[in-house]
Amino acid sequence: MAKPKSMPVEGEILFSYFNEIGIISQLSSAVFERNLPEGLTNSQFGVLNWFVRVDSEATPGRLATAFQVTAGAMTNTLKKLAAKDLINIEPDPNSGRQKRVSITARGLAVRQAAIASAAPLLADFAQEFSAKSIESQLKSLRKVRQYLDEQRYR
């Protein structure tokens, strides 16, 4: 069996960079989910947060694309959110088959409660890492996210 070729140093650095981001994502998601109110999951919170960050209304298909999940997985998440009265799912007046999804006032309140529930975690984090340090990293991370977001449509 042939020995696999080693990666160039730049490739190893890039792999390590994305590996660290992935591990941070897993760890932070697990901690955040344990503190979510109303029995919410990270994926459900993500949908509520999307409505505040991106747009006030969307089709299930647009949401599935945004979260890079199957239509079935998004439908399941949306049904659970609708059952909790956190979103509205209504027929699209311009299409007989499409649905329109929007966040409810209760959904907005639950999103805010979820963010508030993270306050103690963030306070602990702020003891170790200064806001100035995080802010400088945030600019770079946003550029990485924007690049990767654009790449998925190519």
pLDDT at site 110: 95
Pick one of 1.10.10.10, 3.40.605.10, 3.30.930.10, 1.20.1260.10 as the CATH number of 30-117. Answer: 1.10.10.10
40-41-43 Cα angle (round to 5): 125
pLDDT at site 1: 65
pLDDT at site 13: 93
pLDDT at site 154: 78
CA torsion angle 43 97 54 89 (round to 10): -60
Nearest to 148 by CA among 9, 14, 1: 14
pLDDT tens for the chain, 154 residues long, are: 666 666 677 889 999 999 999 999 999 999 999 989 878 999 999 999 999 999 999 999 999 999 999 999 999 999 999 999 999 999 988 887 899 999 999 999 999 999 999 899 889 999 999 989 999 899 999 999 999 988 887 7
Tell me the whole-structure pTM to 2 decimals. 0.80
pLDDT at site 8: 75
**87-91, strands of its sheet edge to edge:** 57-58, 99-103, 87-91
pLDDT at site 95: 81
